[in-house]
Amino acid sequence: METPRYENASQASRIYFLPNLMTAGNLFCGFTAIMLCVEAKFTARIEMIDTLNYAVQKTPAQLYEKAVWFILAGVLFDSLDGRLARLGGQESLFGKEFDSLADIVTFGIAPALLAMFLLLSPTQDMPVYRLIGWIVSFFYLACSAIRLARFNVITSPLLKPDERLPKYDFLGLPVPAAAGTLASLVMVMNRLPPSLVPATTLILPPFLFIVALLMVSTIHYPSFKHIDWNTRIRVQGLVLCLLAIVLIYQFHYFAIAGIFVSYLLYGIVRHFFRRRGQESVPENLD
């Protein structure tokens, strides 16, 4: 993993406009998503207390879905800031730290609140289930913070490059992918028949726990950092990209969730086959 070197603090703390503007957009999306989650939670309580004397402008489901879209928009901003910095040769230690702080808001706190308010505490009469919701949501937030801290450590300019670390892969599931997976599943749940929502809600706590563990795991996930204007692609890859565009256009929310879940599963399956291949290689006997 290549890490830029800096000669002094002034060089490391340079603030480049376009990359940091994208990071600020990411932070804005995270803050707005948090505000929408809080507003949706209070709206739900007001509806339960007095549905006759309070005119609700937007339902909690609509507010939660707006929060989901802001989280997904944060994923887009996060993918743009680093790419703009690399393309323009404008990487700085300030931008790296600013990006991590924005990520913990958009992809750590916002999804944890979304899970707690919408998915993990659907009713007020299940205290044990609500306790599980608190624990799993905080566990997800803690793992996302640990994942970001580990990334900052292994890419620190104070350390010598380690050949054992992946050059074009992420170590562990990236926090934007984890948040995108959760957010896209919320959109799918909003479109399921009401009879299926309780069942899917019960499945989500263990799923969220697994996603949190994947963030702090040593499984390699593709970073796509090596893709630029000069990158070539095979015909099969081009067909798959066109197919993904068609699926998103045709099936919208289900296709977006499918892409995030496929990315999550891809890392696990590739890790399994790599380990299996290493174990099958015979050792050299002297």
Q: What is the largest CA-CA distance in the chain?
A: 85
Q: Rounded CA gap, 167 and 177, in Å?
A: 19
Determine contact, residues 180/259, Cβ cutoff 8 Å: no
Which one has a higher pLDDT value, 230 or 210? 210
Does 264 reside within a domain?
no
pLDDT of residue 14: 67
CATH of the domain at 146: 1.20.120.1760
Q: Rounded CA gap, 64 and 60, in Å?
A: 6
Q: Rounded CA gap, 252 and 254, in Å?
A: 6
For residue 62 the two structure tokens come to 């609509």
Which helix (H) or strand (E) segment holds residue 184: the answer is: helix 175-189
Determine contact, residues 255/248, Cβ cutoff 8 Å: yes
Does 243 reside within a domain?
no
In this model, does residue 48 exceed pLDDT 50?
Answer: no
Phi, psi of 50 (to 5 degrees): -150, 95
* 171, β-bridge pairs: 220
Does 53 reside within a domain?
yes
User: What one-letter code names the amino acid at 205?
Assistant: P
What is the number of domains present in the chain? Answer: 1
Does 278 reside within a domain?
no
pLDDT of residue 9: 60
Give me the mean pLDDT over the 205-230 stretch: 85
Does 170 reside within a domain?
yes
Confidence tier at 280 by pLDDT (50, 70, 90): low
Least confident span in 7-21, 49-63, 124-138, 239-253: 49-63
Question: Which domain, by its residues, includes 167?
Answer: 9-229
Give me the mean pLDDT over the 207-229 stretch: 85
HSE (side-chain half, CA atoms, 13 Å) at 36: 24
In this model, does residue 113 exceed pLDDT 60?
Answer: yes
pLDDT digits (tens, 9 = 90+) for 134-189: 888 999 999 999 999 998 888 776 667 666 666 778 889 999 999 999 999 888 88
Does 160 reside within a domain?
yes
93-104 helix and 60-87 helix, angle to the nearest 10 degrees: 170
In this model, does residue 283 exceed pLDDT 90?
Answer: no
Least confident span in 66-80, 136-150, 152-166, 213-227: 152-166
Q: What is the mean pLDDT of the chain?
A: 80
Which helix (H) or strand (E) segment holds residue 132: the answer is: helix 127-154
Q: Rounded CA gap, 231 and 54, in Å?
A: 56
Does 107 reside within a domain?
yes
Does 138 reside within a domain?
yes
Q: Rounded CA gap, 182 and 114, in Å?
A: 9
